[in-house]
């Protein structure tokens, strides 16, 4: 099964790629030794969102379903983690809260996905219904500020944001700082390699087939709806993982992480990076998050204007994604240079060569 | 008794006019060009901001509202020429491109104008029926919604432009072969769509606080109305608005605003499950 890490649905299958991958991994693991704790915590913050981006890449890039619901499931899992962590009293129970909240997000995705996919809602309408659900959830959570909005003592707090939950804890040790960083890197490694295996397997081939031509896939005997539901559930579950980790990282979650403009961000990251490939999404999202944070320090509005402009530029100039497109150009150039140069033969020499071997009088 | 019935009618009229005014423009753009305009909310915001700006400069309200609608329409024509033109019949790409535009517009307005501007009060005061008082302006909005529907009917069914526009909607290639200038029709239709969005914003400006993100309040409702209604404006959007207004009004009256909103969303999901093409599909089929 491990050989599925390389396959036809992901770019980067050769030795060169994996050597570079190991180098980057080594640098990531060594990073806390060179950076101060603030930067390490900051990097963990970037890594939180990668799961959501990878999930959307699976749903949209591989599955062909444009879903605006990533922040919807982000919010469900985030708030579930908060409520469960508070109810269960914190401590090691937070690990169970993490697992349960991701499961709840996946379950919600299965239910919403069932209604949409079995209702044959596709294309744009899929996006619109998921967007409507996301904005409605944000609106609903925004007006839960009163004291009557609480679940067994865990107040939802509306736009003030829910707080008071423990971060991920094992026994007496809070998982934060450098420890959280290593946990995040490990999780990303597991999820990334796992997704590569999923996508390159026979299930992944069906998923891509239904993206290319759903009718043809059905004619070949696959129940497209089941595969679409699976893709949607897995991708949204990953968004839920982002949500639960986010709540644990900051011990805080608000409806503004669910509504606009937060709901637009995964779309921008994945569209800009190249949604049809996991590695492109991983690299591109990380770069965009880094760039976004650098600009937000000066002006959040300017950063968001830039995000909008990047989305517009991507759709108009390079619809397959800038990171993906550029990597294709670079690898094509690489291959062209690797081929040995053939000596150029003039036309007359070529003709005499040909006629000489033919023994035909002319 | 009469007062209760009138109150129910008033609430229905309130939601109905909101849905019609918010979604008419979107339905025209989608029905004509297969383009989903995610920046629809921003054109509504543009209409509202221009209205308030003009009123603060001294113009009377109705004149300011009409001017705002025209301004929104003109900006729409420019946007169509620069951006949307490349995305006909590509709803997914147009959705993304216009969403980028929407993000630029909201955050740009935040940067330039700030997070809120001084609004204008609701005009015309109130009137009483039985034990309840109602705002007169909301009934004016209801009348405007009906006027918009009537105007669209006359435009699309009784004018030469309407005939050519409907022909372009049905079969653009054929219409072009028969001499219709489809590029111009598309530009004008997009302009009408965004002009209606601007009108919606202009009409609702005296009733709400003006913030650059106010478009978000409208897009959910307008999108679900268009989705439930289907692509045809008159046969789809109007019945969809009536149905959704009924659902919303009943839930609001029984359980409050939030349940009303969520219930409407539920109804949309159920309707799409039963009628994937929206209301216009059964009504068109019946009409044949």
pLDDT of A342 strictly over 70: no
- Tell me the whole-structure pTM to 2 decimals: 0.84
Q: Quickly state the pLDDT bin for B7 (edges 50, 70, 90).
A: confident
Residues of A in Cβ contact (< 8 Å) with B102: 308
**Phi/psi zone of residue A158: left (φ > 0), alpha (ψ -120 to 50 degrees), beta?**
left
Residues of A in Cβ contact (< 8 Å) with B83: 312, 316
Nearest chain B residue (CA) to A125: B227
Q: How far apart, in whole angstroms, are the C-alpha atoms of residue A37 and residue A158?
A: 31
Q: Quickly state the pLDDT bin for A322 (edges 50, 70, 90).
A: confident
Nearest to B276 among A119, A133, A261 (CB): A119
Distance of CA A350 to the CA centre of its chain: 54
Nearest to A121 among B108, B110, B272 (CB): B272
Complex ipTM: 0.81
Q: Give the start-end residues of each E strand in chain B.
A: 126-129, 132-135
* pLDDT for the residue A349: 63
Q: How far apart, in whole angstroms, are the C-alpha atoms of residue A279 and residue A288?
A: 14
Q: How far apart, in whole angstroms, are the C-alpha atoms of residue A87 and residue A89?
A: 5
Surface of A (282-301) touching B: CB under 8 A? 299, 301
Question: What's the mean pLDDT in B112-127?
Answer: 83
Q: Does B8 touch chain A (CB under 8 A)?
A: no
Best to test chain B binding among A126, A299, A316 (most B CBs inside 10 Å): A316
* pLDDT for the residue B182: 87
pLDDT of A37 strictly over 80: yes
Question: What's the mean pLDDT in A129-151?
Answer: 85
* pLDDT for the residue B50: 93
Question: What's the mean pLDDT in A302-320?
Answer: 89
* pLDDT for the residue A185: 93
* pLDDT, tens digit, 9 for 90 and up, residues A166-222: 888 887 888 888 888 999 999 999 999 999 999 999 999 999 999 999 899 999 999
Three-class secondary structure of residue B134 per DSSP: strand
* pLDDT for the residue A149: 81
Longest dimension (CA), chain A: 102
pLDDT of A2 strictly over 80: no
User: Can you read off the two tokens belonging to residue A89?
Assistant: 């009293």
User: Can you read off the two tokens belonging to residue A88?
Assistant: 């269960």
The alpha carbon of residue A349 is apart from the nearest alpha carbon of chain B, in Å, by: 50
pLDDT of A62 strictly over 90: yes
Q: Does A308 touch chain B (CB under 8 A)?
A: yes
Q: How far apart, in whole angstroms, are the C-alpha atoms of residue B198 and residue B192?
A: 10
Residue B215, CA distances (Å) to A67, B45, B51, B280 in order: 21, 6, 15, 26
Own/partner long-range contacts of A152-158 (Cβ < 8 Å, ≥24 apart): A152/A83, A152/A87, A153/A86, A153/A87, A154/A82, A154/A83, A154/A86, A154/A87, A156/A79, A158/A255
Best to test chain B binding among A311, A314, A322 (most B CBs inside 10 Å): A311
The number of folded domains in chain A is: 1
Classify residue A309: in a domain, yes or no. no
Q: Does B157 touch chain A (CB under 8 A)?
A: no
The alpha carbon of residue B51 is apart from the nearest alpha carbon of chain A, in Å, by: 24
pLDDT of A52 strictly over 60: yes
Domain range for A220: 38-254
Cross-chain residue pair A267–B102, CB shorter than 8 Å: no
* pLDDT for the residue A163: 85
Nearest chain B residue (CA) to A299: B111
Q: Quickly state the pLDDT bin for A347 (edges 50, 70, 90).
A: low
What is the average pLDDT value for chain B, to the nearest integer? 86
Q: Does B259 touch chain A (CB under 8 A)?
A: no
Question: What's the mean pLDDT in B34-41?
Answer: 87
Cross-chain residue pair A260–B83, CB shorter than 8 Å: no
Cross-chain residue pair A132–B106, CB shorter than 8 Å: no
Give per-residue burial for A280-315: e unless 16+ CB within 10 Å, then b: bbbbbbbbbbeebeeeeeeeebebbbbbbbbbbebb
Cross-chain residue pair A133–B273, CB shorter than 8 Å: no
Nearest to B99 among A119, A135, A264 (CB): A264
* pLDDT, tens digit, 9 for 90 and up, residues B188-224: 999 999 999 999 999 999 988 888 888 888 888 888 8
Q: Does A305 touch chain B (CB under 8 A)?
A: yes
Q: How far apart, in whole angstroms, are the C-alpha atoms of residue B130 and residue A211?
A: 60
Q: Does A143 touch chain B (CB under 8 A)?
A: yes
* pLDDT for the residue A356: 55
Residues of B in Cβ contact (< 8 Å) with A64: none
Cross-chain residue pair B269–A143, CB shorter than 8 Å: no
Classify residue A137: in a domain, yes or no. yes
Residues of B in Cβ contact (< 8 Å) with A125: 227, 272
Surface of A (97-136) touching B: CB under 8 A? 115-116, 118-121, 123-125, 127-129, 131-133, 135-136
**Selected residue with higher pLDDT from A247 and B232:** A247
pLDDT of A362 strictly over 50: no
Pick from B149, B134, B144, B152: nearest CA to B65: B144
């Amino acid at each position: 099964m491990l050989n599925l890490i390389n396959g036809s649905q992901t770019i980067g299958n050769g030795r060169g790629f994996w050597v570079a991958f190991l180098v980057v991994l080594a640098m990531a693991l060594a990073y806390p030794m060179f950076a101060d704790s603030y930067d390490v915590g900051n990097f963990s913050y970037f890594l939180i969102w990668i799961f959501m981006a990878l999930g959307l890449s699976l749903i949209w890039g591989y599955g062909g379903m444009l879903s605006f619901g990533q922040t919807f499931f982000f919010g469900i899992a985030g708030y579930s983690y908060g409520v469960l962590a508070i109810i269960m009293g914190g401590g090691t129970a937070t690990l169970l809260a993490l697992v349960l909240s991701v499961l709840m997000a996946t379950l919600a995705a299965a239910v919403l996905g069932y209604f949409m996919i079995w209702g044959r809602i596709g294309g744009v309408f899929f996006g619109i219904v998921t967007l409507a659900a996301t904005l409605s959830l944000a609106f609903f959570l925004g007006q839960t500020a009163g004291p009557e909005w609480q679940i067994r003592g865990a107040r939802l707090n509306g736009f003030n944001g829910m707080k008071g939950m423990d971060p991920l804890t094992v026994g007496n040790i809070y998982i934060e700082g450098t420890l959280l960083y290593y946990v995040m890197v490990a999780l990303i490694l597991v999820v990334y390699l796992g997704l590569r295996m999923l996508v390159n397997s026979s299930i992944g081939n069906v998923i891509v087939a239904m993206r290319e031509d759903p009718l043809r896939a059905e004619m070949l005997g696959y129940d497209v709806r089941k595969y679409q539901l699976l893709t949607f559930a897995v991708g949204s579950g990953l968004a839920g993982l982002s949500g639960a980790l986010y709540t644990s990282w900051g011990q805080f979650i608000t409806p503004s992480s669910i509504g606009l403009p937060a709901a637009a961000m995964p779309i921008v990251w994945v569209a800009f990076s190249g949604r049809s490939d996991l590695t492109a999404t991983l690299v591109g999202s990380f770069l965009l998050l880094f760039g976004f944070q650098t600009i937000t320090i000066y002006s959040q509005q300017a950063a968001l204007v830039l995000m909008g402009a990047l989305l517009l530029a991507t759709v108009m100039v390079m619809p397959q994604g800038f990171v993906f497109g550029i990597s294709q150009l670079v690898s094509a150039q690489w291959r062209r240079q690797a081929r040995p140069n053939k000596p150029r033969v003039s036309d007359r020499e070529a003709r005499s060569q040909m006629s000489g071997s033919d023994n035909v009088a002319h | 008794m009469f007062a209760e019935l009138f109150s129910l009618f008033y609430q229905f009229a309130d939601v109905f006019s909101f849905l019609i005014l918010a979604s008419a423009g979107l339905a025209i753009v989608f029905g004509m060009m297969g383009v989903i305009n995610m920046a629809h909310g921003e054109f509504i915001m543009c209409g509202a901001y221009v209205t308030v700006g003009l009123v603060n400069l001294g113009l009377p309200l109705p004149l300011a509202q009409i001017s705002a609608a025209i301004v929104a329409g003109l900006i729409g024509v420019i946007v169509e020429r620069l951006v949307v033109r490349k995305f006909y019949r590509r709803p997914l790409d147009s959705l993304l491109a216009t969403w980028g535009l929407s993000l630029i517009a909201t955050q740009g307005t935040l940067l330039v104008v700030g997070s809120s501007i001084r609004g204008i009060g609701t005009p015309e005061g109130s009137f009483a029926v039985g034990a309840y008082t109602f705002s007169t302006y909301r009934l004016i909005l209801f009348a405007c919604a009906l006027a918009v529907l009537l105007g669209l009917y006359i435009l699309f069914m009784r004018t030469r432009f309407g005939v050519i526009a409907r022909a372009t909607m049905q079969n653009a290639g054929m219409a072009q072969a028969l001499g219709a200038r489809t590029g111009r029709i598309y530009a004008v239709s997009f302009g009408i769509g965004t002009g209606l969005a601007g009108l919606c914003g202009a009409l609702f400006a005296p009733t709400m606080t003006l913030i650059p993100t106010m478009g978000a309040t409208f897009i959910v409702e307008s999108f679900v109305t268009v989705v439930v209604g289907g692509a045809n404006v008159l046969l789809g959007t109007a019945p969809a608005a009536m149905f959704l207004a009924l659902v919303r009004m009943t839930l609001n009256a029984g359980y409050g605003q939030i349940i009303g909103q969520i219930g409407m969303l539920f109804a949309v999901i159920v309707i799409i499950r039963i009628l994937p093409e929206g209301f216009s599909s059964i009504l068109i089929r019946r009409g044949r």
